[in-house]
Structure 1
């Protein structure tokens, strides 16, 4: 076993007869609530023994000196002369203690003494302390101890300096930081070994030494300490295997406790370290907390209490960034999982632990509940004031507070995790959110991307469509990866798109897409929107056999069981799944919608007779009649039905049994419900199960993890999904169009602008959609109408010949309109660009 020897020595003359000894055992941080380490503790933690002299003659005399060394339970005494070397002193101490040791050093006033110097040459004053720091030889983890020794040596040398304001310490910052990185990099992957390795850092009080650097009165030395501590916090995720992250948190806890008790909880380094610790804890997989101990809960609670106190003080009136919001959410998440692990799984803290006067009560559970009640009251007041501010402020004023709104939402996420610890707390929070749903939805719409907001998708009675859409899009990967480039021939649109999207690794599609059509000049987001729209029109076209449209709604689709005629149909379903997911991720409305029988199966839900009403109205009505018939008619076998389904495919007809022996089972009044159920299942579940499975697989490829994919469909209803992917099916409102159009070169009352809108108002609906597509690359608007687009539309003046057609820059929603001499000429030119075949290209080379 490895041990650390840390001895403090004082020198005394031989005439000294009265010696008092103070022993300070190695100190460990108590997990009790609250902790309050002090500077005095920090000093005493560096010593294991102190020998105080009674008389104080000068050390630089010719007489022998007595050394008193307190080690373990005995006090050692030996003689020394002023001309004796430091190395000799060290050797004699080791010989008298019987320790087999190496790398021992004597330190005087934070200055490392050279072993070949004498006591006189070291200019040691009377009544002073010498500190012996060393490490016993270890049979295991000797390299770990050696690296920590290197760090102590570097720290000791640095503390001995008295720098001037102009001294540059850039050469020392990397040296100590590199040692920290080296220590982390050699952490074993096995949990038990990792624990012992990391305990070397704690048992040698290396964290204390680094904090002493940060407490130096010299700015340069403080910066070195700060850099080294930051290195430890920022590097552990890089060098430590994920399986041992939680083992490392014990060191992070120690750093935070020391900093809180020395430099204070408002110090910037403490706040950074606390934030990093909370982020690390929240990032752990829930399985890491399965066997959590009560001590972990006790360690986490003070951080939650501290952050809650800050929120209670600031929340009602603070309009600036509440930096503690995200930290509170992270620590609350970790505390929630730790409590679950301690309780043995999912569940609430039993009332006997925080309400009952019995011995079962836990003080932390009582205090935590009291904190929650205070937080909820203040949060309710904060939401009320937020609602008033949003209602009375301009868009510019609201935008200036976006960071504040994000932090309010982060705090709300923390409350959600908090409330899950107590059954009655969840009900209380839900009641408040329901009452304040207007400002809550406003906060969600203003929020920045954050994975911690996914729980909001389950609050369908509180959130509106725009909020659910905002949060569900956050489930997709952040488009910060390398662009996936595509060059596609319009004449080979489906085939080449399949190669670019369906035949590549899924990770290649997690970033942005760069799209260009062959022999066309335009590039950018407008071309990408155009590609999504025309590709989906081709995919869902009746010319292909992948999907069927609903008889009464040509925009509504479900998989075609007859797609098996194409040997590649399952690969194409995976491809289509990717395309639809990409369109959602890039916020493009492609103009198609899904039928209920399709969406419910993507959501993992059961199909009933009522769900097939749009997909097959004829079958629906037939089944309803069978169920509504008199029992006598059904039992008379007038229907002539058995548990068999007849299928026509590729010009042939075949029968499929709905259950084993179905040909012999006659439909009667007793089993007709079973017949209808099995018929619906065979038509819309069994026959298209493979198609839906492969579509689902392709859709999930675009997500970073399968969990997000499942949550996406389960958290939305059909109407939400169809609004997101299909856009609005309402007629285009020309007045809304005009209100969201700006002019460049023209004025609103110019005759050309009056002519233009007069022509547009007289167009058929399909012509308006074609013009909209020519202008923006979209045939269908978002559900909010023109206000849902990313920017206003622009109408620009163009000088040129009268026979010139209007042109567009779809990336910027810009239509370039020449100054025609009459409304009739303008009308003729507008009629040309609103023909489908003219609108379908962006200009040839």
Structure 2
């Protein structure tokens, strides 16, 4: 009978559908079904439960979205009857409440007057808040149920939106116990006061939960799955905090105290499909490097491993940069996002090891100052920003698109390429403005000169001791050029009142305007890989400059032999064999550069991730082979595998390793 009733509902006119559905409530059907559900006779009870669940399940399938939402008054009626009859812990009540939540999540109370109102919904928000608070504070073996958290989030949406109407006009609510100070209708006062209490209580209880996570940091991996709901509740509290003056600050101060726990939750539980913009926008200071890197990496495509979908390249080492440019700059971004397969011309080796080597070689060529695309910072030659004079190459803007693609692809493949960006460059990629302090590394002399102008005695400046006007004189490609920093700048003398404006204009011209085209094209190339400029900006926005340094360059620490040993397995050898002892003794006696070459020979990795060897995709392996003692070690870089025979002595071991740790031998020497 219920299904037949639903089938008669008008599908094209929501108002007529609502009128038809009202018959169900007007005939007291919800109350009758709940009375049947209370029967001591199991068949009656089961029949009532089936009828109620089928009503909502079938409605969701049969009705369009708008018509389905018109069932909200019926769901509300069932919830009221069931709450009185069996309580809020009954499974059928929970089902009806969840159905109600799914209907009202997108409800606009102003547009849907007569259906269901603010005061109808709020009791469920309060009910769930009490249950969540109890589960957070008193549950020792489990966290809040995901269904409770989901319903709480859905029911909060229309409640929050209704309050936001007034916040938009009046600003965040100053919480007092005098209703007129809210700037809100008096009937909402109790709900607004209660929501504030809910926010404070849940935040306090979550603070306690996060503290417990930090106390169990050493045993945190054993708590798999227990804390996945905390982030969902935190997301809702973050949204509620914006309604009340001071609550936003309270929320993030709490998170900053619990950086370790919050960062763990982000790394462990935030997935690609999750909505985590609230953390990206505001949570930078409340997270650590691992969490920020995790959020940033979620914005990049995932590398696919299906061979038929990979972008194939055949690279000539003798013309590395130009050939790589042709393959990457002119490719469809969709094919690049799928992943890369490449091999060097006239070489048999293929696979991830060769790909890592190619990334490092190409990125180092792109940022080589001799190619005029980027300029190295005077105080740190690893650090680069775009070259204002890159136009010497007619294709320079296309090469900046290529550069943006290459850096995004290197990050996507989690390959440290040994390059870092200057702060001036990073800030522009993140959409931030540039200040005097930001240029200190890019041009120390320019920075010092600007500081002196700003710190000079005002009287001396006003006597035209500087002899400056609002122009910038510079040499470009052997030609002297003069650029006015503002209209009529050539006749504007720099004095004590306008000297800050002069310095700001000079910085803007030298470090923003002069490289504007280059930065724009780099951004376009990067955005090609992440699929949009919005995601590109979000990627850099959620990172600190140092974070990107670590992601692109990797660890700045010297290679730890103990860490190396701890992440190496043996095949054919035992850990206690003389050859293994001799091997590590030889490695310990190597110079820093020799260790780097050995690592590259073994893995095609020049720069370890921040976690050291523990951050690699897999452990390293040493294999025993049956070759002659005259043979050198060989490597399978794709699998992090090093092979050598059972050399007869430490001297022979050292001699063989000495040969392969020479730069011209150890590089590009691996085999598949």
TM-score w.r.t. the length of structure 2 is 0.81
| Structure 1 residue 596: Cα displacement | 1.2
Classify 1:706/1:350 alpha carbon distance in 2 versus 1 (closer, same or farther; 3 Å): farther
Classify 1:331/1:602 alpha carbon distance in 2 versus 1 (closer, same or farther; 3 Å): farther
Matching residue of 1:455 = 278
SS in 2 for 1:421: coil
SS in 2 for 1:743: strand
1:433 aligns with 2:264: no
1:516 aligns with 2:339: no
Pick aligned residue for 2:21 from 202, 208, 230: 202
Q: How far does the alpha carbon of each residue in 1:489-529 deviate from its partner, in whole angstroms, 9 at most, with x for none?
A: 2325444544554434545555x414232565555544444
C-alpha contact (below 8 Å) 1:451/1:474 kept by paired residues: no
C-alpha contact (below 8 Å) 1:643/1:663 kept by paired residues: yes
Q: Answer 1 or 2: which has greater helix percent.
A: 2
Matching residue of 2:513 = 686
Matching residue of 2:161 = 337
Structure-2 separation of matches of 1:346 and 1:599:
37
Q: How far does the alpha carbon of each residue in 1:67-95 deviate from its partner, in whole angstroms, 9 at most, with x for none?
A: xxxxxxxxxxxxxxxxxxxxxxxxxxxxx
Matching residue of 1:698 = 525
Classify 1:149/1:278 alpha carbon distance in 2 versus 1 (closer, same or farther; 3 Å): closer
Q: How far does the alpha carbon of each residue in 1:440-464 deviate from its partner, in whole angstroms, 9 at most, with x for none?
A: 3333332231634443342344322
| Structure 1 residue 685: Cα displacement | 1.0
Structure-2 separation of matches of 1:723 and 1:280:
46
Matching residue of 1:610 = 437
Matching residue of 1:251 = 71
C-alpha contact (below 8 Å) 1:473/1:585 kept by paired residues: yes
Structure-1 separation of matches of 2:331 and 2:169:
40
| Structure 1 residue 594: Cα displacement | 0.7
Query: After the TM superposition, which residues 692-731 of structure 1 pair with which residues of structure 2 at under 5 Å, given as runs?
Result: 692-703=519-530, 706-731=533-558
| Structure 1 residue 571: Cα displacement | 2.7
C-alpha contact (below 8 Å) 2:303/2:413 kept by paired residues: no
Pick aligned residue for 1:414 from 236, 242, 247: 236
C-alpha contact (below 8 Å) 2:292/2:543 kept by paired residues: yes
SS in 1 for 2:576: coil
Structure-2 separation of matches of 1:291 and 1:574:
47
Classify 1:615/1:430 alpha carbon distance in 2 versus 1 (closer, same or farther; 3 Å): closer
Classify 1:677/1:416 alpha carbon distance in 2 versus 1 (closer, same or farther; 3 Å): closer
Pick aligned residue for 1:562 from 369, 389, 414: 389
Matching residue of 1:486 = 311
Pick aligned residue for 2:149 from 308, 325, 328: 325
Pick aligned residue for 2:614 from 770, 787, 800: 787
C-alpha contact (below 8 Å) 1:233/1:273 kept by paired residues: no
| Structure 1 residue 399: Cα displacement | 3.0
Matching residue of 2:40 = none
Classify 1:253/1:453 alpha carbon distance in 2 versus 1 (closer, same or farther; 3 Å): farther
C-alpha contact (below 8 Å) 2:25/2:74 kept by paired residues: no
Structure-1 separation of matches of 2:204 and 2:379:
52
| Structure 1 residue 536: Cα displacement | 1.6
Matching residue of 2:481 = 654
Q: How far does the alpha carbon of each residue in 1:532-558 deviate from its partner, in whole angstroms, 9 at most, with x for none?
A: 333322221224222111122121010
Query: After the TM superposition, which residues 309-708 of structure 1 pair with which residues of structure 2 at under 5 Å, given as runs?
Result: 309-316=130-137, 317-320=139-142, 322-323=145-146, 324-333=148-157, 335-341=159-165, 343-344=167-168, 347-351=171-175, 359=186, 361-391=188-218, 393=219, 398-449=220-271, 451-457=274-280, 458-476=282-300, 484-491=309-316, 493-510=320-337, 512-518=338-344, 525-627=352-454, 642-665=469-492, 672-703=499-530, 706-708=533-535
Structure-1 separation of matches of 2:530 and 2:93:
36
Structure-2 separation of matches of 1:628 and 1:342:
47
Structure-2 separation of matches of 1:507 and 1:280:
37
Structure-2 separation of matches of 1:291 and 1:825:
85
SS in 2 for 1:364: helix
C-alpha contact (below 8 Å) 2:109/2:118 kept by paired residues: no
Structure-1 separation of matches of 2:73 and 2:525:
43
- The structure whose RCO (Cα within 8 Å, separation 6+) is larger is 2
Query: After the TM superposition, which residues 46-125 of structure 1 pair with which residues of structure 2 at under 5 Å, given as runs?
Result: none
SS in 1 for 2:559: coil
SS in 2 for 1:403: coil
| Structure 1 residue 231: Cα displacement | 6.3
Structure-2 separation of matches of 1:361 and 1:469:
42
Larger radius of gyration: 1
Classify 1:293/1:221 alpha carbon distance in 2 versus 1 (closer, same or farther; 3 Å): closer
SS in 2 for 1:489: strand
Structure-2 separation of matches of 1:256 and 1:530:
63
Structure-1 separation of matches of 2:162 and 2:361:
51
Structure-1 separation of matches of 2:663 and 2:110:
61
C-alpha contact (below 8 Å) 1:444/1:467 kept by paired residues: yes
Classify 1:406/1:359 alpha carbon distance in 2 versus 1 (closer, same or farther; 3 Å): closer
| Structure 1 residue 531: Cα displacement | 3.8
C-alpha contact (below 8 Å) 1:353/1:361 kept by paired residues: no
Structure-2 separation of matches of 1:472 and 1:555:
23
C-alpha contact (below 8 Å) 2:568/2:619 kept by paired residues: yes
Structure-1 separation of matches of 2:303 and 2:88:
37
Structure-1 separation of matches of 2:533 and 2:74:
36
Structure-2 separation of matches of 1:438 and 1:522:
43
1:797 aligns with 2:624: yes
Q: Answer 1 or 2: which has greater strand percent.
A: 1
Classify 1:349/1:248 alpha carbon distance in 2 versus 1 (closer, same or farther; 3 Å): farther
SS in 1 for 2:381: strand
Q: How far does the alpha carbon of each residue in 1:814-839 deviate from its partner, in whole angstroms, 9 at most, with x for none?
A: 32333223334433433443344545
| Structure 1 residue 415: Cα displacement | 2.4
C-alpha contact (below 8 Å) 1:756/1:826 kept by paired residues: yes
Aligned positions, number: 647
Pick aligned residue for 1:307 from 120, 128, 133: 128
SS in 1 for 2:152: helix
Classify 1:459/1:514 alpha carbon distance in 2 versus 1 (closer, same or farther; 3 Å): same
Structure-1 separation of matches of 2:610 and 2:71:
52
SS in 2 for 1:304: helix
SS in 1 for 2:216: helix
C-alpha contact (below 8 Å) 1:546/1:563 kept by paired residues: yes
C-alpha contact (below 8 Å) 1:325/1:411 kept by paired residues: yes
C-alpha contact (below 8 Å) 2:179/2:186 kept by paired residues: no
C-alpha contact (below 8 Å) 2:563/2:613 kept by paired residues: yes
| Structure 1 residue 413: Cα displacement | 2.1
